[in-house]
Chains A and B, each alone.
Chain A
Amino acid sequence: MKRYSAFNLFREGLNGHKGWGPAWRSPEPARSYDAVIIGGGGHGLAAAYYLAKIQGLKRIAVLERGWIGGGNTGRNTTIVRSNYRQPQIQRLLEFSLKLWEGLSEELNYNVMFSQRGALFLGHSDSDMTRLAERGDALRCNGIDAELMTPGQVARLIPLLDMSDRARFPVHGGLIQRRGGTARHDAVAWGYARAADVRGVDIIQNCEVTGFDIRGGRIAGIRTSRGDIATDRIGMSVAGASGQVAALAGFTLPIESHLLQAFVSEPVKPMIDTVIMSQSIHCYISQSDKGEVVLGGDPDLYPTYSQKGVPYRLEEVAGQAISLIPALSRLRMLRSWAGTTDMSFDGSPIIGTTPVEGLFINGGWCYGGFKATPGAGWLLAHTVATGAPHDINAPFGLDRFAAGATVDEQGTGPMPQAH
């Protein structure tokens, strides 16, 4: 594997860039592994990387039914932040954010992590009260948060409609300056390449179709490319969590829904911050290619279709234009959807399952991209040691029956409400 460096770039330049070679191998699946990860999204690939690097396991495979990064990893709006309200989830996401901050160097792969700031707008006195409360909660736990006046917000994002007649008048905001965006594909590819260097077999076009369970323990896994013996499995399949759990004979507090995203034609830089809102569900950023990236509410019913309703586009575009009138001049280029694994408290599930040797990372709803390094790290720890780390201990499957949910929005046990 050739290192990516200025020197190698220069040398390859003289050589017509013929010497790079593929970034990862395409091996045939072996008959047995020490550990298997199901799902080649960012989370699964990160888990495999940390299993090899931190946990020191040797024979590891990632099984992906399609191509790596083709699930929600390649479909999300790439917002990375840790400014949540509940201490348990703050701790998890801040752990992840710290990993993001060194990720490009760690992987020797430019994941284009851009700490351009993640701003929540407040549109009323009560919005500002809630933002101030959240900012306090964050700062008490050592996470950066700054409350902004309308004047400060206007200087940061000059294109916002700051007039009194605005549909969503801006009363101020709360910014996490260390938040931002990253290049989603690069995160999958970077982890894949770094895991491959450490000997991880990344096996694409390989669907998991069943488990070999003996006496309540994992003994192996069945795939479209043959059976594999293993006694440790980490499942990280996002929207397919319910289906994979069904193969192992249990159900989950997860319902699969759908979230859409939209991008405009590429334009010159106009928005250099991630814009979100305390009151409306609309988030706006601009990709490095220049497209304005828009997201909004999920479609709010169970679906595996990956096809969204058109009225959501209308709603999101309407909200975005109300915030930034200049957006009305843009043509939309693409829209798409991903199958989100909606949990019953809006928080993830990382831990053990009813089957010994099978561990789960899922239930990330529509907010798991930001957690990619952290969730992968914690799943690796849980798979290798057989028990959750202190950071993911509050996120076990048992929390629902125990009443110890981590309900960030305070909306109760309704998957569509988070």
Chain B
Amino acid sequence: MLLITCPHCGERAQAEFTYERPVQTVIALDAPVEVAVETLYNRANPRGWSWELWRHTHGCGAWLKLHRHTATHEVAAVALLEAGA
């Protein structure tokens, strides 16, 4: 990893970015309680590819979606969050 390509800023040091959570653990506002609890607390925690929410905290501040491998640290894709995502 070490370098992450921000769609706005280009290649930047990993230290500028903050990991937030796996994309699928974002809770829908109208989710029923059981679904919300399950989504909030239980993690697939894969050893492999994962879509994650990151933020370019110490850069442009954008929220990003990273397709990242949790063992090799390869980043296959970095995308901006779309409206409503």
Residues of A near any B CB (own CB < 8 A): 241-243, 246, 251-256, 300-305, 307, 309, 311, 344, 400-401, 413-416
For window 34-78 of B, CB contacts with A under 8 Å fall at 37, 40-47, 50, 52, 54, 70-73
Residues of B within 8 A of A413 (CB): 40-41
Which B-chain residue is minimally distant from A311 (CB atoms)?
B15
- How many CB-defined contacts (below 8 Å) exist between A and B? 62
Q: In the complex, what residue of chain A is closest to B14 when comparing beta carbons?
A: A309
Minimum CB–CB distance from B51 to chain A (whole Å) comes to 12
Determine chain B's interface SS by DSSP, over half rule.
mixed
Q: Mark B8-44, 1 if CB is under 8 A from A, else 0.
A: 0000011100110110000000000000010011111
Enumerate chain A residues within 8 angstroms of B81, measured Cβ to Cβ. none
Q: Residue of A at shortest CB range from B18?
A: A300
Query: Considering the chains assembled together, what is the distance between the CA atoms of A310 and B21 in angstroms?
Result: 23
> Which among A302, A311, A401 is the interface contact of B70 at CB below 8 angstroms?
A302
Residue ranges of B at the interface with A (Cβ–Cβ < 8 Å): 2, 13-15, 18-19, 21-22, 37, 40-47, 50, 52, 54, 70-73
Report the minimal beta-carbon distance from B8 to chain A, rounded to whole angstroms.
Answer: 20
Give the 9 A-B CB pairs with smallest separation, nearest first: A242-B45, A301-B19, A251-B42, A253-B41, A400-B41, A304-B71, A304-B47, A401-B37, A311-B15
Q: Kindly list 13 other residue pairs between chains A and B, CB separation below 8 angstroms, not including A242-B43, A246-B44, A302-B52.
A: A243-B45, A251-B42, A251-B44, A252-B43, A254-B43, A256-B45, A303-B70, A303-B71, A311-B13, A311-B15, A413-B40, A413-B41, A415-B43
B41 close to A305 (CB less than 8 A) = no
Contact A255 B43 (CB under 8 A): yes
Among A300, A303, A415, which residue has the most Cβ atoms of chain B within 10 A? A303
Least distance between A142 CB and chain B CB atoms (Å): 33
The residue in B42, B52, B72 that gathers the most chain A C-beta atoms within 10 A of its C-beta is B42
Are B41 and A302 within 8 A (Cβ)? no
Say how far A39's CB is from chain B's closest CB, in angstroms. 16
B52 to chain A, nearest CB (A): 7
